[in-house]
């Protein structure tokens, strides 16, 4: 029996502690990475003042992007707190659950534009649908979800745009644009939908 791992290209070379929790230095010596995040939040909250915003994104835009750790959406797109909805998953794939979020984003919270962002060097390019079979072989249960792996990132962005444009649940499908973010240069490259 083999264990299935996804090999992504971003890995911290931190030592792992018991049960796989990564140990870090810092405020709580020997704490887990989550402890570090909680410590950071205490510092964040100490300087935080209520911006008095409501939940509707100021720029009325929803961004669907890969979860890749090298893609900082707010910095890369000049976004500020409250500007947009960010919907992220492995690949930035437009799944049923992304359509769920977009539907709520548009119908309940007033967004009008959709921006789709894939990127160079995505971990999904090194997977195939065999990943599901491997999982079934290992755990005895086939996942209900598709892996949504791809070989041609441009084509996958086009497919994602198409899924948004043809969704019956969305009210605003006129401003849907797709891009590939280059993790080496930080630049977006727009994909022609045709
Ligand atoms: Zn990715």
CATH architecture designation of domain 61-191: 3-Layer(aba) Sandwich (3.40)
Q: DSSP 3-state assignment of 165? A: helix
Q: How far is the CA of 85 from the centre of ligand 1 (A)?
A: 18
Q: How far is the CA of 29 from the centre of ligand 1 (A)?
A: 32
Q: How far is the CA of 27 from the centre of ligand 1 (A)?
A: 32
Entry pTM: 0.85
Q: What pLDDT is attached to residue 129?
A: 83
Q: What pLDDT is attached to residue 17?
A: 53
Cβ-based neighbours of 95, under 8 Å, separated by 6 or more: 89, 145, 148
Q: How far is the CA of 114 from the centre of ligand 1 (A)?
A: 18
Q: How far is the CA of 118 from the centre of ligand 1 (A)?
A: 6
Question: Would you give per-residue pLDDT tens digits along the chain (194 residues)?
Answer: 455 555 554 444 455 555 666 666 555 567 999 999 999 999 999 999 999 999 999 999 999 999 999 999 999 999 999 999 999 999 999 999 999 999 999 999 999 999 999 999 999 999 988 999 999 999 999 999 999 999 999 999 999 999 999 999 999 999 999 999 999 999 999 999 87
User: Are 170 and 160 within 8 A, CB to CB?
Assistant: no
Q: How far is the CA of 19 from the centre of ligand 1 (A)?
A: 26
How is 79-140 classified by DSSP, letter by letter? --TTSEEEEEETT----HHHHHHHHHHHHTT---EEEEEEETT-GGGG--THHHHHHHHHHS
Q: How far is the CA of 47 from the centre of ligand 1 (A)?
A: 33
- The domain ranges of the chain are 14-46, 61-191
Q: How far is the CA of 45 from the centre of ligand 1 (A)?
A: 30
């Amino acid at each position: 029996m083999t264990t299935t791992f996804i090999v992504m290209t971003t890995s911290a070379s931190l030592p792992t502690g018991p049960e796989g929790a990564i140990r870090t230095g810092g405020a709580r010596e020997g704490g887990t990475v989550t402890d570090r995040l909680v410590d950071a939040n205490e510092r964040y909250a100490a300087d935080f003042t209520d911006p008095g915003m409501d939940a509707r994104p100021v720029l009325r835009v929803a961004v669907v992007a890969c979860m890749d750790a090298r893609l900082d959406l707010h910095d890369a797109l000049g976004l500020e707190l409250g500007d947009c909805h960010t919907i992220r998953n492995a690949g930035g794939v437009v799944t049923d659950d992304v359509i769920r979020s977009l539907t709520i984003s548009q119908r309940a919270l007033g967004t009008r534009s959709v921006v789709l962002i894939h990127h160079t060097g995505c971990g999904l390019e090194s997977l195939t649908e065999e990943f599901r079979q491997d999982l079934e072989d290992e755990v005895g249960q086939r996942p209900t979800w598709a892996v949504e792996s791809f070989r041609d990132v441009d084509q996958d962005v086009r497919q994602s745009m198409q899924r948004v444009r043809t969704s019956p649940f969305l009210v605003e499908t006129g401003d849907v644009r797709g891009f590939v973010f280059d993790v080496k240069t930080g630049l977006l490259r727009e994909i022609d939908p045709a």
